[in-house]
Every structure is written in structure tokens, then in C-alpha cells.
Amino acid sequence: MGETNKYRCFNEDYSLEGKVALITGASNGIGMEITKMFARKGADIVTFDLKRSEEVENYITDQGRQCLTVEGDLTVTQDIQNAVDKAIEKFGRIDVLVNCAGIGFLEMAAESTEKVWDMTMAVNLTGSTRMALAVGKTMIKNGGGSIINIASQAGVVALERHLAYGTAKAGIIQMTKQLALEWGQYGVRINAISPTIILTQMGEMNWNNEKGEAFKKTIPSRRFGYPEEVAACAVYLASDAASLFNGANLVIDGGFTIS
Ligand SMILES: NC(=O)c1ccc[n+]([C@@H]2O[C@H](COP(=O)([O-])OP(=O)(O)OC[C@H]3O[C@@H](n4cnc5c(N)ncnc54)[C@H](O)[C@@H]3O)[C@@H](O)[C@H]2O)c1
């Protein structure tokens, strides 16, 4: 059998033991659930958020895992580099990056403001891209890694009131493909996850209303998602079981975008 046909064994329990993960937006919502599930799966964690969360820190250490907290703002390039430097200083490498931090302000195009556009692009697209670049370069040096970008169904299809948010998320999906194309050869895999509405602070703020109830009826599965369901996708993409996933967009939307 030639080299290309060799089957690489992986842990079928999707264990993340021995891996170091840097997770942005770890103090709330989806990022918090990803962090908790990663800790249960055995990863040591570097959290990056505007504000630290003691709940998250205690949860990680209660699982017997190591936790490094770095407070910072994704829109500040020095904060990104600081997080990467501190992670490397403590752990020597970063095996997984989850780019989860994001903001979601919705407005109709005709009433759209420069403020929402600029903030959304700065955090959701530019910040995430700069973090992927900073971490990815260390992964190339260390022989590989997995970058997971949290995009959205709004980056796949057009939705009312999503001009800035949807455009930024579509940008993240394309950024994922660009990096996957260039870095696959170095063992660095870059994939996206595109959830439907997820019941977090952000999800509730925008969708806990009549519009949300109407929206639910357009989802074939007739429900919104839970942060734990997105976390399970991230565990899979971080694990060695997903070693041939590169440049993919894992859509978790109850079938919303199929038609
Ligand atoms: N909730 C949903 O319905 C939904 C659906 C699809 C995609 N998403 C995406 O999932 C991700 C997480 O969403 P969520 O619902 O958990 O949001 P959330 O508001 O509950 O949490 C977002 C976290 O990101 C952090 N953050 C925001 N701006 C930051 C910055 N500049 N620097 C560092 N950290 C920053 C916040 O402090 C917060 O802890 C976002 O990228 C969002 O776009 C959410």
C-alpha cells in the first residue's frame, strides 16, 4: 500500500488530551460552552476575552486542566500578539485556536450606520483574521494545528438586517478557505462552523421576540440551537478524527440553508 493510502488512527472518543487550545470569547455563550467541553475532553486552555470569567477559570481547573487567562480586545493588534506570546511562554505551543468572539448588531440596510459596520468588521472579520494569522504562524513552526472559525448561517445566505454581520461572516468563511489552501501543506487545518440562531445572550438579544418565533417556522428542524451543540462540532474539528477536514464550513442550522 502506498503512503497516501495509509490509515491514520485517531482517538474515537474525540479526546483532546495533551492539546493546548486558545479560545476567544471564552467568557460567555458559545465560547464558554466550547471552553468547558474542551476542558472535559482534556485540553489545557488559554482564554481570551474582554473580561475574564472566574466561572470559566474555576471550571477548567476543576477538570484538572491548566488555564491561562488573557484579557484583551480583538480589535487591538498588540492584545492579540500578547495572548499568543503568553500562551507560547506558558505552554510552548498552541494546538487549537477557536475564533469565537464576536458581536451581533442588526439593522436594516437603509438605516445602517457606519458605527455598526466598522465595529462589526473590526471584531468579527479583522480581529478574527489577525488572530488566525498570529496563531497560525506558530502552528506552522510547530508542525501543525487546528483553527476553528465561528461564522454563521448569515454568512451563507442573505438575511434581512444582516448587512454588516452577514458580510463579515461570509468574509470569515472565505478567510477560512484562503488559509486552508495555503497552510494545509504544513499540517494546519482551518475550518469554519456556521450555526443558526443559538440560545445565548446574543441570540436572545436579537431573537427572543416575535421575529424569532416566525423565523423558527422557516427552519426545517423548527428550533434554535444550544451552545453545547456548537461546542460538539468544535470538539470534532479540533480532534485528530477530523484530520482530513480543511477549508470546510460545518453548517449547524437545522436545515435552514438547504433551500
Ligand atoms: N448566538 C447566536 O445566535 C449565534 C449564531 C451564529 C453565530 N454566532 C457567533 O458565535 C460567536 C459567539 O456568539 P455568542 O452568542 O456566544 O455571543 P456572546 O455575546 O454571548 O459572547 C461573545 C463573547 O465575545 C466577547 N467579545 C466581544 N467582542 C470582543 C472583543 N473585541 N475582544 C475580545 N472578546 C470580545 C464578549 O466579551 C463575549 O464574552 C460570535 O462570533 C457570533 O457571531 C452566534
Q: Would you call 59 a catalytic residue per the annotation?
A: no
Pocket of ligand 1 (CB under 6 A): 24-25, 27-31, 49-50, 73-75, 100-104, 123, 127, 150, 152, 195, 197-198, 200-203
**Rounded to an integer, what distance in angstroms lies between the CA atom of residue 127 and that of residue 120?**
10
**Least confident window among 27-41, 63-77, 119-133, 196-210:** 196-210
Cα-to-centroid distance, 160 and ligand 1 (Å): 20
Atom of ligand 1 nearest to the CA of 51: 37
What percent of the chain stands above pLDDT 90? 96
Bridge partners (DSSP) of residue 193 are: 150, 250
Distance of CA 45 to the CA centre of its chain: 14
User: 189 is written with which cell numbers?
Assistant: 487545518
pLDDT tens digits for 47-83?
Answer: 999 999 999 999 999 999 999 999 999 999 999 999 9
pLDDT above 70 for 130:
yes
Atom of ligand 1 nearest to the CA of 197: 3
User: Please, which pLDDT band fits residue 1 given cuts at 50, 70 and 90?
Assistant: very low
pLDDT tens digits for 141-174?
Answer: 999 999 999 999 999 999 999 999 999 999 999 9
**Rounded to an integer, what distance in angstroms lies between the CA atom of residue 71 and that of residue 92?**
19
How does 181-210 read in b/e, with b if 16+ C-beta sit within 10 Å? eebeeeebbbbbbbbbbbbbebbeebbeee
Average pLDDT over residues 193-211: 94
**Rounded to an integer, what distance in angstroms lies between the CA atom of residue 250 and that of residue 68?**
28
